Copies of this chain bind each other. A is one copy, B any other.
Amino acid sequence: MSKPVDNPEEALTAYLAKKGMKLTNQRRMIIQEFFQPEAHWTAEELYQKVRRADPSIGQATVYRTLNLLRDAKLARELRFSNDVTIFEPRTGGSHHDHLICEECGKTLAVLDERIEILQTELARKHGFEPTSHRMYLYGICEDCRNAPKEHD
């Protein structure tokens, strides 16, 4: 059972200590912006945000800190097909999968515990120790099935 992290700074401090690393002002500032409920950031967005608080901060520091948070398991890195990479806080176990309408793009967060279990099983069966997963279900939603639509 993975315990949800609910105090990012504390969790990061522990991680840094374990690694012989330091909690700097920049890192403190970045995580303060980063860890907001439901947030998701591109590196650039976060950089702009942090920069507003302290213009002297460097872009590389933001990148380095995001990678740090990822390695510390405090953030999740997601890459999308449209060339966008986002990082999102990993706090408070709000895992879900995505159900997406191919017609109108409507997206629902869904979860099926049985699937979650089978996923773990499936990974283990192949010798993998599962860490996480992403699942996107595509379909046509009820509204769009009824609605008129143009064609190519």
B128 with A137: CB separation less than 8 A: yes
Q: A108 within 8 Å of B by Cβ?
A: yes
A106 closest partner in B (C-beta): B128
Interface, chain A (partner B; CB < 8 A) = 18-19, 77-81, 99, 101-102, 108, 110, 112, 114-115, 118-119, 121-123, 126-142, 145, 152
Residues B131 and A140 in contact, CB atoms below 8 Å apart = yes
Contact call B134/A130, Cβ cutoff below 8 A: no
Are the C-beta atoms of B145 and A129 separated by less than 8 Å?
yes
Partner of A131, one of B80, B119, B139: B139
The 5 A-B pairs of least Cβ separation, nearest first, read A128-B139, A127-B142, A130-B139, A79-B79, A135-B135
Q: A77-B81, A131-B102 are in contact. Are A126 and B108 (CB under 8 A)?
A: yes
* Cβ-neighbour of A19 out of B81, B122, B152 (below 8 A): B152
Is there an interface contact between B128 and A99, defined as CB atoms closer than 8 Å?
yes
Q: Are B79 and A81 in contact (CB under 8 A)?
A: yes
